[in-house]
């Protein structure tokens, strides 16, 4: 029976929806020569294998790509396990782990997943002194031991920091780095692949071509950048076929330049997800250091935290999450109690007055 005959036979069947499916029209993609765009009808209880029996090879191949694609909007950010408007989320990072900390890392990963964290962040340079690739190998070992911990999780990694250079985003280096990360992580595809820092000696067109090739070859599901200026990001984006899905930046109540240098404005304007590393300023916001530059910030956080009945940690993270970008804070604590305490920020919504009070404490002056 032909595909058209299947469609005609489906009419009148109460189990079949009357909504047409036109994949080429939906995606805006140009249909390959000889391909058609008939009004396929999908069962309300959709079974891909059953539908595949329609034996329309061109449409099946295209539809697989459509279903696996990550849209560049709020839905796409949610699919990456990152925050969207109305849904603040956390990520968990492995930059503090050595390769041999399997038991501790497994415990924290289990707690993170139980707490609703789906986005796991690492990089090829993480792993402690002399441990290049160590954090990725650690995740690979945990996956082999407890694969269930990764069910539904998004794993993001970064490359481009080269020992002795310090940066290398050439096509040969990044391609080899991605392949090495795949091997260490024990996966066939990296969900989100970041360029760790901009390499001033690689032309953005070369970097764009490299990233596009990683996506087209199936080695990377989505691409992102880390620590780029708005100009750096734009220069690469102009040459890309695939969108930049995420930008990982340093942002906290102690580090606020992204509010004013265009980084967060660019992300909101282009629909780019934002993840913040060091959201507690490497612990300096929660440390009790007297009379330093962050003392006014700590005092303000303490006052606001007391009002909300949470810790200074939760108040500091609530500052990060209050921004409308929205921003996903990457947590890196290796202590279960601190992770649970950090997650209490999800229940705190700072008022405008509170958020600006923290910002003004960091700036050292009132907003104009």
DSSP output for 70-102 = --SSHHHHHHTT--BTTB--EEEE-TT--TT-H
pLDDT of res. 74? 65
Which pLDDT belongs to residue 360?
98
| Amino acid 72: pLDDT | 58
Left, alpha or beta for 243 (phi > 0: left; psi -120 to 50: alpha)? beta
Please give the pLDDT value at position 71: 61
Is 167 assigned a catalytic role?
A: no
Instruction: Report how far apart, in Å, the C-alpha atoms of 6 and of each of 11, 31, 35, 42 are.
Output: 9, 21, 17, 11
Catalytic hit among 97, 126, 173, 194: 126
Q: Which ranges constitute the DSSP H helices of 168-291?
A: 171-185, 204-216, 230-237, 263-270
Please state the pTM of the whole predicted model: 0.81
Residuewise pLDDT in 10s, the chain (368 residues) = 444 444 434 444 433 333 333 333 333 444 444 444 444 344 444 454 444 443 344 333 333 333 345 665 666 666 798 988 778 899 999 999 999 999 999 999 999 999 999 999 999 999 987 689 999 999 999 999 999 999 999 999 999 999 999 999 999 999 999 999 999 999 999 999 999 999 999 999 999 999 999 999 999 999 999 999 999 999 999 999 999 999 999 999 999 999 999 999 999 999 999 999 999 999 999 998 777 999 999 999 999 999 999 999 999 999 999 999 999 999 999 999 999 999 999 999 999 999 999 999 999 999 99
Query: Residue 269, SS3?
Result: helix
Q: Using the CB atoms, write b or e for 276-293: b if 16+ within 10 Å.
A: bbbbbbeebbbeeeeeee
DSSP 8-state assignment for residue 148: G
Angle between helices 230-237 and 204-216 (to 10 degrees): 60
SS3 20: strand
In 3-state terms, the chain is what percent helix, strand and coil (to 5)?
Answer: 45, 15, 40
Domains of the chain: 3-68 (no CATH), 74-363 (3.20.20.100)
What backbone phi and psi angles, to 5 degrees, belong to 38?
Answer: -75, 165
DSSP 243: P
């Amino acid at each position: 029976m032909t595909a058209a005959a299947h469609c005609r036979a489906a009419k009148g069947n109460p189990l079949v929806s009357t909504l047409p499916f036109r994949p080429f029209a939906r995606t805006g993609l140009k249909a390959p020569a000889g391909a058609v765009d008939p009004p396929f009808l999908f069962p309300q209880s959709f079974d891909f294998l059953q539908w595949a029996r329609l034996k329309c090879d061109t449409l099946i191949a295209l539809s697989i790509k459509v279903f696996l694609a990550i849209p560049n909007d709020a839905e796409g950010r949610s699919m990456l396990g990152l925050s969207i408007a109305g849904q603040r989320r956390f990520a968990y990072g492995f930059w503090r782990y050595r390769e041999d900390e399997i038991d501790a890392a497994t415990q924290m990963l289990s707690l993170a997943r139980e707490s609703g964290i789906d986005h796991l962040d690492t990089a090829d340079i993480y792993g402690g002194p002399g441990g290049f690739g160590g954090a990725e190998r650690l995740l690979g070992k945990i996956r082999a031991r407890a694969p269930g911990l990764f069910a539904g999780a998004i794993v993001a990694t970064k490359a481009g920091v080269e020992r002795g250079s310090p940066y290398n985003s050439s096509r040969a280096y990044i391609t080899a780095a991605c392949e090495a990360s795949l091997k260490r992580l024990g996966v066939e595809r990296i969900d989100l692949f970041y360029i760790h820092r901009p390499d001033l000696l690689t032309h953005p067109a070369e970097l764009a071509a490299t990233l596009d090739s990683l996506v087209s070859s199936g080695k990377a599901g989505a691409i992102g950048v880390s620590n780029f200026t708005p100009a750096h990001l734009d220069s690469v984006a102009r040459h890309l076929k695939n969108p930049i899905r995420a930008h990982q930046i340093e942002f906290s109540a102690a580090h606020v330049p992204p509010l004013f240098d265009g980084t967060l404005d660019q992300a909101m304007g282009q629909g780019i997800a934002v993840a913040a590393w060091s959201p507690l300023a490497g612990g300096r916001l929660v440390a009790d250091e007297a009379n330093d530059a962050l003392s006014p910030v700590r005092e303000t956080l303490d006052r606001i935290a007391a009002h909300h009945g949470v810790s200074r940690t939760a108040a500091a993270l609530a500052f990060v999450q209050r921004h409308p970008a929205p921003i996903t804070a990457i947590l890196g604590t290796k202590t279960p109690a601190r992770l649970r305490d950090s997650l209490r920020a999800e229940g705190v919504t700072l008022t405008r007055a509170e958020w600006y009070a923290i910002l003004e404490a960091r700036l050292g002056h009132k907003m104009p």
